Chains A and B, each alone.
Chain A
Amino acid sequence: MSEVNIKKIDWLSVFILSILIALGLGNIFSSSQIYLLDSVFSFNPFTKQLFFAIISVFIFFFVQILSINFFLKYSSILYILSILSLIGLFVFGNEVNGALAWYKINGFSIQPSEFAKPITALALAKYLSDINSNIKTIKTQFYSFLIILIPITLIILQPDPGTIIIFLSFILVFYKIGLPSIYMNLFVGFIILFFATILLTPKNVILFIIASMIIFLFLNKKNKKVVKKTFIYGLIFSVFVFSVDFIFNNIFEERHRNRFNIVMGIKQDNQGIGYNTNQSRIAFASGGLTGEGFLKGSQTRGNFVPEQHTDYIFSTVGEEWGFLGASFIILLYTFLMLRITKRAELQRNLFSKIYSYSAVTIIFSHFFINIGMVIGLVPTIGIPLPFLSYGGSSLMAFVLLFSIYIKLDSERTSKW
Chain B
Amino acid sequence: MKNKFLPFLIVTTSIIFILRLFWVQIININDVKLSNKNSVEKIYNYPERGYIFDRNNKLLVENEPFYDLMIVPSKLKSIDTIEFCKILKIDKKLFIDKIKKAKNYSRIKPSVFLSQISKKDYAILQEKLWKYEGFSVTKKSNRNYLLNSASNILGYISEVNDYEIKDDSYYESGELIGRQGIEKAYEEKLRGVKGVSYFQKDNFNRITGRYKDGIYDTIFKPAKDINLTIDVDLQIYGDSLMINKFGSIIAIEPESGEILSLINAPNFDPNLLIGRNRSKNYIKLKNDTIGKPLFDRGLQGQYPPGSTFKLINGLIALEENIITSNTKISCNEGHYYSKNRFMRCHCEPGTSNDLNKAIYNSCNTYFATIYKNTLNKYSSSKEGMNNWKNHVESFGLGNYLGYDHPLGRPGLIPDAKYYDKWYPNNRWRAATTISNGIGQGEILTTPIQLANITAIIANRGWYKTPHLVKKISNDSINSKFLDKKHTSIKSVHYEKIINGMFDVIEKGTAQNSKIKGIEIAGKTGTAENFIKINGKRSQLTDHSIFIGFAPKENPKIAIAVFIENGYWGTRWAAPIASLMMEKYLKKEVKRKYLENYILNGNLMEEYLKPYTKNNFSINE
Interface: B283 (CB within 8 A): no
Question: Assuming the A-B contacts A318-B21, A323-B25, A341-B7, are A286 and B37 also in contact, with contact meaning beta carbons closer than 8 angstroms in the complex?
Answer: yes
B16 at the interface (CB under 8 A from A): yes
**B215 at interface, CB cutoff 8 A:** no
Whether a CB of chain B sits under 8 angstroms from the CB of A367 is yes
Is chain A's interface secondary structure helix, strand, loop, or mixed overall?
helix
In the complex, which residues 307-332 of chain A have their Cβ closer than 8 Å to any Cβ of chain B?
Answer: 318, 322-323, 326-327, 330-331
Q: Are A281 and B32 in contact (CB under 8 A)?
A: yes
Is A368 on the interface with B (CB-CB < 8 A)? yes
The answer on a CB contact under 8 Å between A375 and B10 is: no
B211 close to A (CB within 8 Å):
yes
Are B11 and A301 within 8 A (Cβ)?
no
A90 at the interface (CB under 8 A from B): no
A172 contacts which chain B residues (CB < 8 A)? 6, 9
Hey, what's the 0/1 contact readout for B4-20 against A, CB within 8 Å counting as 1? 01110111011011101
A176 and B2 CA atoms in complex are apart in Å by 6
Contact between chains at B22 and A323 (CB < 8 Å): yes
Q: Tell which of A341, A342, A367 touches B13, judged by Cβ atoms closer than 8 Å.
A: A367
Task: Give the most central of B5, B25, B31: most A CB within 10 Å.
Answer: B25
With A299-B37, A377-B16 in contact, do A364 and B10 touch (Cβ < 8 Å)?
yes
> Could you tell me if A298 and B21 are in contact, using CB atoms closer than 8 angstroms?
no
Q: Do A330 and B14 contact each other (CB < 8 Å), given the known contacts A301-B200, A360-B6?
A: yes
**With the chains together, A34 CA to B6 CA distance in Å?**
40
Does B164 count as interface, using CB distance less than 8 angstroms? Answer: no
> From A364, which residue of chain B is reached at the shortest CB distance?
B10
B38 within 8 A of A: yes
Cβ-defined contact, A281 with B24, below 8 A: yes
Question: Smallest Cβ distance from B369 to chain A, in angstroms?
Answer: 70
- Asked if A263 is an interface residue, CB under 8 A from chain B, the answer is no
B29 A330 Cβ-Cβ under 8 A: no
Decide: B203 and A304 in contact? CB cutoff 8 A. Answer: yes
A53 adjacent to chain B (CB < 8 Å):
no
Establish whether residues B32 and A302, one from each chain, have CB atoms under 8 Å apart when the complex forms. no
- Decide if A303 touches B24 in the complex (CB within 8 Å): no
Number of A-B contacts defined by CB within 8 Å: 108
User: A16 to nearest B CB, angstroms?
Assistant: 14
Contact of B202 with A334 in the complex, beta carbons under 8 Å = no
Q: A326, B25: Cβ atoms under 8 Å? A: yes
Within 8 A of B (CB), among A267-313: 279, 281-282, 284-289, 298-299, 301-304
Instruction: Judge if A175 is at the interface, Cβ distance under 8 Å.
Output: yes
The residue of chain A having its C-beta at the shortest distance from the C-beta of B206 within the complex is A302
* Residue pair B37, A284 in contact (C-beta under 8 Å): no
- B211/A330 in contact, CB under 8 A: no
B residues in contact with A375, CB < 8 Å: 17, 20-21, 24
| Cβ-defined partner of B6 (8 Å) among A323, A326, A327, A341 | A341
A143 at the interface (CB under 8 A from B): no
The CA of A126 and the CA of B18, in the complex, are separated in Å by 37
B contacts with A: majority SS: helix
A364 / chain B contacts, CB cutoff of 8 Å = 6, 9-10, 13
Q: Are B36 and A282 in contact (CB under 8 A)?
A: yes
A287 and B25 CA atoms in complex are apart in Å by 7
A178 / chain B contacts, CB cutoff of 8 Å = 2
Contact B200 A304 (CB under 8 A): no
A290 nearest CB neighbor, chain B only: B25
Asked if A123 CB lies within 8 Å of chain B CBs, one says no
Tell whether, in the assembled complex, residue B29 and residue A285 are in contact, meaning their CB atoms are under 8 Å apart.
yes
B-chain residues with CB within 8 Å of residue A327 when the two chains form the complex: 18, 21
- B26 on the interface (CB 8 Å rule)? yes
A289 to B18, CA, bound (A): 12
A384 within 8 A of B: no
Asked if B25 contacts A298 (CB within 8 A), the reply is no
From B9, B24, B39, B40, contact of A284 by CB (8 A): B24
Q: Is B24 a contact of A341 with CB atoms below 8 Å?
A: no
Q: A301-B202, A302-B203 are in contact. Are A175 and B2 (CB under 8 A)?
A: yes
CA A368 – CA B14 in complex, angstroms?
9
B3 within 8 A of A: yes
Bound CA span A175–B2, Å: 8
Which residues of chain B from 26 to 51 have a CB within 8 Å of any chain A CB? 26, 28-29, 31-32, 36-40
Residue A333 CB within 8 A of the other chain: yes
Distance between Cα atoms of A316 and B541 in the complex (Å): 78
Report which residue of B7, B20, B21, B22 has the largest number of chain A beta carbons within 10 angstroms of its beta carbon. Answer: B21
Closest Cβ neighbor of A297 among chain B residues: B39
Cβ B18 vs Cβ A330 within 8 A: yes
B200 to chain A, nearest CB (A): 6
Knowing A302-B39, A375-B20, say if A322 contacts B25 (CB, 8 Å).
Answer: yes
B208 → chain A, closest Cβ, in Å? 7
**CB of A262 closer than 8 Å to a CB of B:** no
> How far is B16's CA from A298's CA once the two chains are assembled, in angstroms?
27
Smallest CB gap from A37: residue in B: B202
Q: How far is the CB of A127 from the nearest CB of chain B, in Å?
A: 20
Give complex CA distance A301, B40 in Å.
11
CB distance from A359 to the nearest CB of B (A): 11
Q: Are B13 and A289 in contact (CB under 8 A)?
A: no
Given A298-B37, A301-B208, A375-B24: A288 touches B29 (CB 8 Å cut-off): yes
Closest Cβ of chain A to B321, distance in Å, is 70
A285 adjacent to B39 (CB under 8 Å):
no
B10 touches A284 (CB 8 A): no
Given A302-B202, A326-B25, residue A176 in contact with residue B14 (CB < 8 A): no
Q: Whole-angstrom distance from the CB of B182 to the nearest CB of chain A? A: 39
Tell me the complex Cα distance, A364–B9, Å. 9
Asked whether B2 lies within 8 Å of A298 as measured between CB atoms, the reply is no
Taking a contact as CB atoms under 8 Å apart, the answer to whether B32 and A334 are in contact is: no
> In the complex where A288-B26, A289-B25, A377-B20 touch, is A303 in contact with B10 (Cβ < 8 A)?
no
Contact A298 B211 (CB under 8 A): yes
Q: Give the complex CA separation of A242 and B295 in angstroms.
A: 62
User: Are A301 and B7 closer than 8 Å at their CB atoms?
Assistant: no
* Contact of B10 (CB < 8 Å), options: A289, A341, A357: A341
Contact residue among A34, A285, A341 (Cβ-Cβ distance under 8 Å from B202)? A34
A371 to B24, CA, bound (A): 13
Whether a CB of chain B sits under 8 angstroms from the CB of A22 is no
Interface centre among A178, A330, A345 (most CB of B within 10 A): A330
- What residue of chain A has the Cβ atom nearest to residue B16's Cβ? A377
**A88 CB-CB contact with B under 8 Å:** no
Given contacts A327-B18, A337-B10, contact A302 B24 (CB under 8 A): no
Residue among A289, A298, A333, A371 with the highest chain B CB neighbour number at 10 A = A298
- From the candidates B20, B22, B31, name the one contacting A285 in the complex (CB within 8 A): B31
| B26: A residues at CB distance < 8 A | 288-289, 323
CA A372 to CA B200, docked complex, whole Å: 29
Q: Kindly provide the distance from the CB of A326 to the nearest chain B CB, expressed in whole angstroms.
A: 5
Q: Is B201 an interface residue (CB 8 A)?
A: yes
- Give Cα distance in the complex from A289 to B21, angstroms: 10
Instruction: Tell me the minimal C-beta distance from B211 to chain A in angstroms.
Output: 7
Q: How far, in angstroms, from A25 to B5 measured CA to CA in the complex? A: 33
Assess whether A235 is interfacial by the CB under 8 Å rule. Answer: no
* Measured CA separation A330–B10 after assembly (Å): 10
A302 adjacent to B201 (CB under 8 Å): yes
Which of B10, B31, B39 makes the CB contact (< 8 A) with A299? Answer: B39
How many angstroms between the C-alpha atoms of A327 and B24 in the bound complex?
A: 12
Chain B residue numbers with a CB within 8 Å of A281 are 24, 31-32
Binary interface encoding of chain A residues 339-377 relative to chain B, with 1 for a CB under 8 A from any of its CBs, else 0:
001100100000000000100110010011001100111
**Does A338 reach chain B (CB closer than 8 Å)?**
yes
Q: Chain A contacts of B25 at CB under 8 A?
A: 284-285, 287-289, 318, 322-323, 326
Contact between A282 and B21, CB atoms less than 8 A apart: no
Are B7 and A176 touching (Cβ within 8 A)? no
Given A281-B31, A364-B6, A375-B21; 8 other pairs, CB 8 A cutoff:
A176-B6, A285-B29, A285-B32, A288-B26, A289-B26, A345-B3, A376-B24, A377-B20
Per CB-CB distance, the 3 closest pairs between chain A and chain B, nearest first, are: A302-B39, A285-B32, A323-B25
Cβ contacts A to B, 14 pairs, < 8 Å: A34-B202, A172-B6, A281-B24, A282-B38, A284-B21, A285-B29, A285-B32, A298-B40, A299-B39, A301-B202, A326-B21, A337-B10, A360-B10, A375-B21
